[in-house]
A and B are shown apart, each in its own frame.
Chain A
Amino acid sequence: MNTHKPLHFKTFAMILIMIIAGPLGNVLLGRGMKRVGAASITSLTSLAHVADSIFTNGWIWLGVASLLTFFIANILVLSWADYSFVQPASSMAYGVVALLSVLLLGESVTLLRWVGIAIICLGVFIVGRTHPRTTEHS
Chain B
Amino acid sequence: MFKLIYFFMIVVAGTGGELCVSRAMKGIGEVHDFRPSAVLQVIGRALRKKWMWLGIGLMTLAFFSLLAVLSFEKVSFVVPVTALSYVAGALGGRFFLGERISLNRWTGICLVCIGVTLVFLGKG
B-contacting residues of A (Cβ < 8 Å)?
A: 23, 26-27, 29-30, 33-34, 36-39, 54, 60, 67, 71-72, 74-76, 78-80, 82-85, 87-88, 91, 93-94, 97-98, 100-102, 105, 107-130, 134-135, 137-138
Number of A-B contacts (CB under 8 A): 209
Write 26 A-B pairs (CB below 8 A) sorted by A numbering: A33-B71, A75-B46, A76-B39, A78-B25, A79-B31, A79-B42, A84-B105, A88-B90, A88-B108, A91-B86, A94-B115, A97-B75, A97-B79, A105-B75, A112-B118, A113-B80, A116-B80, A116-B116, A118-B115, A119-B115, A120-B116, A120-B119, A127-B109, A127-B112, A134-B101, A135-B100
Size category of the binding interface on chain B? 35 or more
CA distance in complex: A63, B110 (Å): 30
Q: Name A116's contact: one of B31, B34, B68, B115 (CB within 8 Å).
A: B115
A124 near B66 with CB under 8 A, answer: no
Task: For B107, give the chain A residue with the smallest CB separation.
Answer: A126
Contacts A88-B109, A123-B108, A123-B110 known; A27 to B80 CB distance under 8 Å?
no
A109 near B71 with CB under 8 A, answer: no
CA distance in complex: A134, B100 (Å): 6
Dominant secondary structure at the B interface: helix
What 6 A-B pairs are tightest by C-beta distance, nearest first? A112-B122, A116-B118, A123-B111, A84-B93, A127-B108, A120-B115
Instruction: Decide if B37 is an interface residue (CB 8 Å cutoff).
Output: no
Task: For B70, give the chain A residue with the smallest CB separation.
Answer: A33
Chain B residues whose C-beta falls within 8 Å of the C-beta of A135 in the assembled complex: 97-100
Chain B residues whose C-beta falls within 8 Å of the C-beta of A128 in the assembled complex: 108
Interface residues of B in 49-70 (CB under 8 A from A): 59, 63, 66-68, 70
Chain B residues whose C-beta falls within 8 Å of the C-beta of A78 in the assembled complex: 21-22, 25-26
A120 near B71 with CB under 8 A, answer: no
A83 near B89 with CB under 8 A, answer: yes
